[in-house]
Structure 1
Amino acid sequence: MRDDPPLDYYLIFAAAGDRGRGALPSVILVEEFLLRGDHTAAGIAGVEWTPATGAWRDRPALSRAIRTDALLRERVVPVSRADAADAYTMLGGGELPQEARIRAFFHDCQPLPAEDPLDLGSPGDEKRLYRILFAGDLHERGLARLRSALRLEPAGDQADPRAHVVGTATATAAGHTVTWELRRIGAGIAWCLDVTVNPGPGPDPGIGTLLHHHRQAIREQGLIPVTIERFA
């Protein structure tokens, strides 16, 4: 039996700041990252529900837009399933369908490019490097929460807005060493999490689970995941 990870939920408001004024969203968007066997992203499936139609429909173009359109992104709020369920009920939809039912509405997806990992190591070096890219910006409170959630140690001058690496952490499991770094890309443009896996002799340390957990932790602070790439 397939054990699917939870779906991602977003509320889209008619205007930026509507959530703070207590307004209801105009769209509920539900997404699923489609992963390859090496944990990289092959595409994003997305369906929307609106009170105007009262129906679920494929919207891969909307999934693309919230990642490329900065003005639209100001109206988008990543939320938990519980928050999405509350909004769905208040908008007149009743009880939010179970995730297996929502998945049945996925018929198309926004494809993501596939490339072979670059060989950045020496012969015999099996190191793997993943990058999870996020659109949007982090406020100081969100960054502080992430430092706690991802157990990040400060890196560089945190007061310098030009500092790219804002925190690092390392863990060891079954002889494998995993290091992750949270990086700022530009100013208010994007962020990424680089995860380096140095394989050991033990069983698989569950890198897929770690990537999912870290992606969700960052998404909870308002950033929108764009893709998961592998460079080595």
Structure 2
Amino acid sequence: MATALRYHAALHYYVVHDGAGEPEGLLAEEFLLAADHSCVGLVGGGWSRSEGRWRDASATSRRLRVDPTLRARVTPVSRDGAATLYREFCGAALPDEAALRTCFGVLPAPPSPPLLLHRSEATPGFRETRTYRILFAGALTPGGLTALGGAWRMPVTGDLAEPGVRVLGTVCRQVGRDAFRWELRRVAAGAAWGLDVTCDLTGDRDDAVGVLLHALTAQVRLQGLVPVTIDRFR
């Protein structure tokens, strides 16, 4: 059965630098999401000064997650930042996101998300409880941790300089009758970072889940980390 896909409301942008550290192009990308907001694929488009046109760059987006050398040459930016640089490069407005998506590659058959065979009971008082992990590649800096702590009003409970510390902070939020909690933690023996997000839902709609996952991904990405995937565990 084909997987019903959801799309983020906004793309993620990166400036790509050449070997000398000078900007040479832009990368725009997005996760393809299953109906439950977990990730089932990644697509992207790129523009370079040398080619002067947008083209499919989905392979580059996927390589960015596993190639530290390539990650060292990209800087996450907002759409406004990408638009400013694009205008400097070619004197034109950055195409809107619908136009950019037309150059993205298409996954021929997006895989179905993992089947959750052993769902735990929902938290008492809620209809459903879900747990997601947003995985990031890269190194979180002290400044980045401070920025996230301020944005989320998150007390930093761990020492970033201590490799043995796993959880750096926890945040709890109430949205209407739904409750959300996320932990910022080291994963993969400190080689990556994750946000473990628990969603306690009361009603039949889960729109707030997608909005929150996208917002958290964007906030961490702008601190220099590269989102790898969004997995659902529960």
Same fold (TM over 0.5): yes
| Contact residue 122 and residue 200 of structure 2 kept, 8 A | no
Q: Which runs of 5+ in 2 are unaligned?
A: 1-5
How large is the Cα RMSD of the aligned pairs?
Answer: 2.6
User: Which among 140, 148, 173 is matched to residue 138 of structure 1?
Assistant: 140
Letter in 2 for 1:224: V
Please name the residue that 2:17 is paired with: 13
Scaled by the length of structure 1, the TM-score of the pair is 0.86
Instruction: Compute the displacement of 1:153 (Å).
Output: 2.4
- Whole-angstrom distance in 2 between the partners of 1:95 and 1:113: 37
Offset of residue 88 of structure 1: 1.4
Change (3 A) 1:109 1:172: same
Query: 8 Å contact 2:121–2:129 — kept in the other structure?
Result: no
Secondary structure, counterpart of 1:102 in structure 2: helix
C-alpha separation between the residues in 1 aligned to 2:7 and 2:37? Answer: 15
Matches within 5 A, 1:5-154: 5-15=9-19, 18=21, 23=22, 25-92=23-90, 94-109=92-107, 114-117=113-116, 119=118, 121-122=120-121, 126-154=128-156
1:133-155 CA distance string (max 9 Å, x none): 01101110001001111222233
Distance in 1 between residues matched to 2:115 and 2:98, nearest whole Å: 32
1:85 Cα deviation after fit? 1.4
Which amino acid is the alignment partner of residue 180 of structure 2?
Answer: V
* Distance verdict in 2 for CA 1:102–1:74, change over 3 Å: same
Letter paired with 1:10: Y
Aligned residues: 225
Shift of the alpha carbon at 1:100?
Answer: 1.4
Match of 1:167 in 2: 169
Change beyond 3 A, Cα 1:39–1:184: same
Partner of 1:179: 181
Contact conserved, 1:150 with 1:169, CA < 8 A, in 2?
A: yes
Q: Give the partner amino acid of 1:107.
A: G
Report the residue type matching 2:63 in the other structure.
Answer: A
The corresponding residue for 1:221 is 223
Shift of 1:98: 1.2
Matched-pair contact (CA < 8 Å) for 1:136–1:188: no
Seen in structure 2, the aligned counterparts of structure 1 residues 151 and 117 have a Cα distance that, compared at 3 Å, is farther
Could you list the per-position Cα deviations for residues 107-138 of structure 1 after superposition, in whole angstroms to 9, with x for gaps in the alignment? 32596773123625248973210110011011
Q: Which moved more, 1:195-204 or 1:177-186?
A: 195-204
